[in-house]
């Protein structure tokens, strides 16, 4: 696919993919051993495996959100839009996909109020609307996971292949193998711990690139030199639709179109991805909102910092003899495959840069894949197996099915990525198109949990009408505007913009109009009773006293250990909150106001004045922009790296005491 010779040997590709995957699997065995021995959360309990016992604190939730939302595309497509539109690309990539995480904080608190014991958002659909609607939503949810999962592998494998020459199909199948292993071993909680390490590594490598490019590199080395090189690139290759063709302006028509696509598509890929619901379900009730607001804030820095560095470096260095495609420009396929970042890293830093990129990309792909794997496994276990095949399944059967489904979905992701590779679908195409396929279900899904007036008819017609409108608008626009339907025309800006907007907005309009004509008046008590039909049937996420006694005989820790006492206390506190959903009403308003204000500031107040005034960044303004990007990445590192340790410091102190001093 790519004419540029790989800079690294094939062994580096296999080493990273197999070696790091193997390392994390071994780490997971260790974590699982200590979790089962020193805490009450047993990975053998299906509640713990799939919901982390609904006990995770906000720092780790924020980190998990960042990790799930950091795709290959977050690094690659953000650099592509930096390459295509200049400084506006990274801003819109980040701003256009952060607000959905902020908005999800509202759904997170609503889950705790209206369906606190659910495992998946689809269980809420089933209980509220019945089987037909449930099956439609399951199809949308699985389509979302398949599109996202295969897109992760498509982007990751393209760059691994470009950098190392590793066989692309080997990469596609080997990347999920290690992830499947560690997710099967550890379940959701242990996945959070791997998310933690992966996210920190990604952020440290982003800082490594940023410091190199903006402080020491011989080709750039300072913001002011980057500004000069971008000015020069604007003269050589002016950007159509940007003020004066400049790479240094937010007045970019292409950038703005991308922003709208990103907003619509991101709503689908957050609201319909069980991975984000799973993190809300795993949160402690009082802190779910914090987890999502902090997670959104922290995630912004990943594409913003990375693409403002490597994407812009690729623009600045395209006409440098060290650039891999020199003296040519990148081909459209290379750009669309997300190779701007790879070429930028290679030009700036040679082999060390390529290795750093390979590692950060692998971390991003594996941590978001782990989220997809356990999300789909929950859907297939609870929404298909338990709902339609074996309603009285025992916990050990549920765990077994969860394990099998993780492996099944790992294979499905790889098969779809293989298909995209074989038929010539690139990361950029898939990224722009996937939102229009799933967008119709965004608002019907959100309203299922938040709006008691949405009727069953409105939910169904909203989803299917949105899907039809999205597909029609997309294909008609491509045919009318370009005169033919090809991969190139269907992946272009205007058709994908039309499709994404039509999908999401039609779903919204149909759901609202139909619900107003004939509204439902749903009683949330019905969804609050999911999985808690009688007190004795309440599934315990913790080990029972008997289970614990059995484990204690086999060497597990006794129940009176401080770690275990604290876990019991937290569980009791959370149960009280869940029994009184009104106690979360303050959190709901906080989430609503914060997400609205932050979204407005991020996507309107900051960029629009610069867009409408056609402002081109001066050297000083660019310097300020870069300083902010550094500051933001550091803040994100604090949120994801330090906060989870601070909020669990008591646990770690007790755990080490129990492990090394045999404290009782």
Report the site for ligand NC(N)=O in 212-271 (rule: CB under 6 A).
266
Shortest Å, Cβ 570 to ligand NC(N)=O? 31
C-beta of 75 vs 118, nearer to ligand NC(N)=O: 75
Shortest Å, Cβ 282 to ligand NC(N)=O? 19
C-beta of 176 vs 268, nearer to ligand NC(N)=O: 268
Stretch that binds ligand NC(N)=O, among 65-73, 228-236, 331-339, 628-636 (CB under 6 A): 65-73
Two structure tokens written together for 277: 């619901």
Helix, strand and coil in the chain, % to nearest 5: 80, 0, 20
Shortest Å, Cβ 396 to ligand NC(N)=O? 35
Closest CA to 450 of 247, 567, 591: 591
Residue nearest to ligand NC(N)=O (CB): 74
C-beta of 427 vs 556, nearer to ligand NC(N)=O: 427
Told to check if 71 binds ligand NC(N)=O by CB under 6 A, we report yes
CA distance 628 to 624: 6
Helix (H, G, I), strand (E, B) or coil at 218: coil
Shortest Å, Cβ 276 to ligand NC(N)=O? 11
- 320 sits in the region (left: phi over 0; alpha: psi -120 to 50; else beta) called beta
Taking a C-beta distance cutoff of 8 angstroms, is the pair 591, 110 a contact? Answer: no
DSSP 130-196: -HHHHHHHHHHHHHHHHHHHHHHHHHHHHHHHHHH---HHHHHHHHHHHHHHHHHHHHHHHHHHHHH
Two structure tokens written together for 200: 């920190």
Stretch that binds ligand NC(N)=O, among 71-79, 408-416, 529-537, 572-580 (CB under 6 A): 71-79
CA distance 390 to 133: 20
DSSP state of 238: P
Taking a C-beta distance cutoff of 8 angstroms, is the pair 203, 637 a contact? Answer: yes
DSSP state of 243: G
C-beta of 71 vs 91, nearer to ligand NC(N)=O: 71
CA distance 340 to 151: 17
C-beta of 292 vs 522, nearer to ligand NC(N)=O: 292
C-beta of 192 vs 276, nearer to ligand NC(N)=O: 276
Told to check if 508 binds ligand NC(N)=O by CB under 6 A, we report no
C-beta of 25 vs 500, nearer to ligand NC(N)=O: 500
Told to check if 147 binds ligand NC(N)=O by CB under 6 A, we report no
Q: At what angle do helices 168-211 and 395-423 cross, to 10 degrees?
A: 90
- 175 sits in the region (left: phi over 0; alpha: psi -120 to 50; else beta) called alpha
Shortest Å, Cβ 266 to ligand NC(N)=O? 5
Told to check if 140 binds ligand NC(N)=O by CB under 6 A, we report no
Told to check if 74 binds ligand NC(N)=O by CB under 6 A, we report yes
C-beta of 266 vs 495, nearer to ligand NC(N)=O: 266
Stretch that binds ligand NC(N)=O, among 31-39, 69-77, 610-618, 628-636 (CB under 6 A): 69-77
Shortest Å, Cβ 100 to ligand NC(N)=O? 9
Told to check if 97 binds ligand NC(N)=O by CB under 6 A, we report yes
Contacts 24+ apart (CB under 8 A), 224-229: 224/619, 224/622, 224/623, 226/312, 226/313, 226/316, 226/622, 226/626, 227/617, 227/619, 227/622, 227/623, 229/315, 229/316, 229/317
Shortest Å, Cβ 496 to ligand NC(N)=O? 14
User: Burial code of 530-546, b = ≥16 C-beta within 10 A, e = fewer?
Assistant: bbeeeeeeeeebbbeee
Shortest Å, Cβ 168 to ligand NC(N)=O? 21
C-beta of 317 vs 437, nearer to ligand NC(N)=O: 437
Shortest Å, Cβ 212 to ligand NC(N)=O? 23
CA distance 578 to 572: 10
Told to check if 25 binds ligand NC(N)=O by CB under 6 A, we report no
Shortest Å, Cβ 2 to ligand NC(N)=O? 22
- Per CB under 6 A, the list member of 45, 61, 73, 163 interacting with ligand NC(N)=O is 73
Told to check if 69 binds ligand NC(N)=O by CB under 6 A, we report yes
Shortest Å, Cβ 589 to ligand NC(N)=O? 27
Shortest Å, Cβ 300 to ligand NC(N)=O? 11
C-beta of 209 vs 617, nearer to ligand NC(N)=O: 209
Number of residues that bind ligand NC(N)=O (CB under 6 A): 6
CA distance 485 to 428: 17
C-beta of 71 vs 214, nearer to ligand NC(N)=O: 71
CA distance 445 to 460: 10
Shortest Å, Cβ 360 to ligand NC(N)=O? 14
CA distance 635 to 493: 33
Told to check if 91 binds ligand NC(N)=O by CB under 6 A, we report no
Taking a C-beta distance cutoff of 8 angstroms, is the pair 362, 156 a contact? Answer: yes
Binding region for ligand NC(N)=O (CB under 6 A) = 69, 71, 73-74, 97, 266
């Amino acid at each position: 696919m790519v004419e540029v010779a790989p800079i690294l040997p094939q062994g580096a590709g296999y080493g990273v993919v197999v070696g790091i995957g193997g390392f994390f699997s071994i780490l997971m065995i260790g974590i699982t051993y200590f979790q089962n021995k020193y805490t009450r959360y047993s990975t053998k309990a299906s509640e713990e495996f799939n919901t982390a016992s609904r006990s995770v604190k906000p720092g780790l939730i924020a980190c998990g959100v960042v990790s799930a939302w950091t795709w290959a595309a977050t690094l690659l497509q953000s650099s592509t839009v930096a390459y295509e539109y200049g400084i506006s690309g990274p801003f819109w990539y980040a701003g256009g996909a952060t607000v959905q995480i902020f908005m999800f904080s509202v759904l997170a608190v609503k889950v705790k109020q209206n369906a606190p014991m659910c495992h998946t958002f689809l269980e809420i659909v089933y209980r509220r609307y019945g089987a037909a609607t449930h099956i439609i939503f399951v199809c949308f949810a699985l389509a979302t996971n398949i599109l996202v999962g295969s897109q992760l592998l498509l982007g990751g494998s393209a760059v691994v292949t470009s950098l190392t020459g590793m066989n692309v199909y080997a990469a596609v199948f080997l990347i999920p193998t290690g992830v499947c292993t560690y997710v099967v071993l550890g379940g959701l909680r242990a996945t959070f711990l791997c998310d933690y390490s992966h996210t920190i590594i990604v952020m440290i490598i982003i800082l490594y690139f940023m410091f190199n490019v903006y402080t020491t590199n011989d080709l750039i080395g300072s913001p002011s030199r980057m500004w000069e090189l971008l000015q020069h690139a604007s003269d050589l290759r002016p950007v159509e639709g940007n003020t004066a063709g400049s790479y240094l302006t937010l007045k970019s028509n292409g950038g703005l179109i991308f922003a709208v696509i990103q907003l619509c598509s991101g709503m689908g890929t957050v609201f319909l991805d069980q991975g984000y619901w799973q993190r809300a379900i795993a949160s402690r009730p009082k802190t779910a909102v914090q987890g999502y607001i902090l997670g959104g804030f922290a995630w912004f820095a990943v594409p913003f910092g990375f693409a403002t560095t490597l994407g812009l470096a690729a623009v600045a260095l395209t006409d440098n003899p060290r650039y891999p495609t020199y003296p040519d420009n990148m081909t459209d396929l290379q750009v669309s495959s997300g190779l701007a970042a790879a070429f930028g890293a290679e030009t700036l830093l040679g082999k060390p840069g390529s290795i750093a990129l390979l590692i950060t990309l692998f971390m991003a792909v594996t941590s978001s894949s782990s989220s997809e794997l356990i999300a789909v496994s929950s859907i297939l276990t609870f929404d298909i197996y338990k709902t339609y095949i074996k309603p009285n399944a025992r916990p050990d059967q549920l765990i077994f099915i969860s394990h099998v489904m993780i492996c099944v979905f790992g294979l499905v992701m790889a098969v779809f990525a293989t298909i995209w590779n074989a038929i010539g679908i690139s990361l950029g195409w898939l990224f722009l198109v996937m939102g229009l396929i799933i967008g119709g279900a965004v608002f019907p899904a959100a309203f299922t949990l938040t709006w008691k007036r949405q009727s069953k008819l409105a939910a169904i017609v909203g989803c299917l009408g949105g899907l039809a409108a999205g597909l029609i608008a997309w294909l008609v626009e491509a045919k009318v505007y370009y005169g033919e339907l090809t991969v190139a025309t269907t992946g272009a800006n205007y058709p994908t913009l039309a499709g994404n907007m039509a999908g999401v907005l039609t779903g919204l309009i149909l759901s609202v109009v139909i619900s107003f004509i004939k509204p439902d008046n749903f009683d949330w008590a019905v969804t609050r009773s999911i999985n808690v039909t009688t007190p004795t049937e309440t599934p315990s996420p913790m080990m029972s006293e008997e289970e614990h006694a059995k484990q204690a005989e086999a060497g597990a820790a006794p129940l009176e250990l401080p770690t275990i006492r604290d876990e019991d206390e937290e569980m009791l506190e959370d149960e009280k909150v869940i029994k009184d959903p009104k106690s979360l009403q303050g959190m709901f308003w906080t989430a609503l106001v914060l997400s609205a204000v932050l979204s407005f500031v991020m996507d309107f107040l900051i960029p629009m004045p610069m867009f409408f005034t056609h402002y081109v960044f001066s050297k000083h303004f660019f310097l300020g922009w870069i300083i902010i990007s550094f500051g933001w990445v550091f803040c994100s590192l604090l949120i994801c790296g330090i906060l989870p340790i601070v909020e669990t410091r008591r646990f770690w102190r007790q755990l080490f005491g129990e492990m090394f001093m045999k404290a009782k």
